[in-house]
């Protein structure tokens, strides 16, 4: 019997897995791959972004509520999921921003934060890992730390001399960064909307993207997953404290999104297998070996 393909997605908070790469994961689960979502914090300091959920009993029990939301999203996507157990750092706001809370995830020594992820890599033995770029996708301290932890775990898990006592070494074949909101995607959607005589709800967002001074990662890999956009949306809506059903996420119908941009996009950051770019499969160069 052939071995099942295995994908590990490392995220900072519950709900990140549903806003980044959810349709990709749903596709690979449907094709028979094993998918593990690693959630580094519990989202304890996250704001309630859906006004309908902003109630005292929810604010007082936000950690428990977010765990239940994650379980429902996990069920919808068909993935496995594990909480690592670090405490959300929150998003400091102000000029200058206040210091991060003592003991939070972003202030952990790298070796402390990476050790449980190395252990999970050695237990799950993924062929592919996906995570955020060095700027975290956006500069939330937990997302930036998630990048550092993911890269450390990817590199260290294969070295038998590092992190002793966390299992047998395992070399993951490929590491990808999400390219979640490329300007080209919004331009393609805007064109389809214009062709249909419809207003572009992303116009202001596109102006902000054009002005951003962060690195724009090359899209090396486009995974066709348009038929799973509805699954993605259901997983997003499961995170009811974080996702307003009247928000940006659902501003354009999925049929238009499929016509304009039916992929989720990635940058291949590390690879130990031969593959030709551009790719249309995270497991390119791996399938024949598994």
Annotated binding-site residue numbers: 13, 16, 143
Residue reference for tokens 């704001």: 47
Q: What is the 3-state secondary structure (H, E, C) of 43-97?
A: CCCCCCCCHHHCCHHHHHCHHHHHHHHHHHHHHHHCCEEEEEEECCCCCCCCCCC
Q: For residues 13 and 41, is the Cβ–Cβ distance under 8 A?
A: yes
- Give CA–CA dist 17/175, Å, rounded: 16
**Binding-site entries for Zn(2+):** 13, 16, 143
Residues 16-36 as b or e (16 or more Cβ within 10 Å = b): bbbbbbbbbbbbbbeeebbbb
């Amino acid at each position: 019997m052939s071995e099942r393909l295995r994908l590990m997605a490392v995220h900072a908070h519950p709900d990140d897995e549903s806003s980044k790469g959810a349709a990709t994961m749903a596709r690979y689960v449907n094709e028979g791959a094993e998918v593990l979502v690693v959630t580094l914090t519990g989202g304890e300091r996250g704001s309630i972004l859906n006004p309908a959920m902003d109630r005292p009993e929810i604010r007082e029990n936000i950690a428990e509520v977010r765990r239940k939301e994650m379980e429902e999203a996990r069920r919808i996507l068909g993935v496995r999921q594990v909480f690592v157990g670090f405490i959300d750092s929150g998003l400091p706001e102000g000029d200058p921003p206040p210091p991060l809370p003592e003991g939070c995830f972003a202030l952990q020594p790298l070796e402390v934060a990476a050790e449980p992820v190395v252990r999970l890599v050695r237990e799950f033995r993924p062929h592919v890992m996906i995570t955020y770029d060095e700027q975290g996708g956006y500069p939330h301290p937990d997302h930036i730390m998630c990048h550092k932890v993911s890269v450390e775990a990817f590199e260290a898990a294969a070295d038998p001399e590092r992190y002793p006592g966390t299992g047998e070494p395992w070399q993951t074949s490929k590491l990808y960064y999400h390219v979640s909101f490329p300007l080209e995607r919004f331009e393609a959607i805007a064109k389809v909307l214009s062709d249909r005589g419809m207003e572009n709800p992303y116009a202001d967002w596109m102006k902000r993207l054009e002005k951003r001074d962060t690195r724009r990662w090359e899209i090396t890999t486009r995974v066709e997953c348009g038929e799973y956009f509805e699954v993605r949306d259901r997983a997003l809506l499961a995170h009811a404290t974080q996702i307003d059903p009247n928000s940006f996420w659902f501003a354009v119908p999925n049929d238009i999104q499929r016509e304009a941009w039916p992929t989720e996009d990635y940058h291949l950051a590390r690879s130990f297998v031969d593959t030709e770019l551009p790719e249309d499969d995270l497991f390119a160069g791996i399938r024949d070996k598994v």
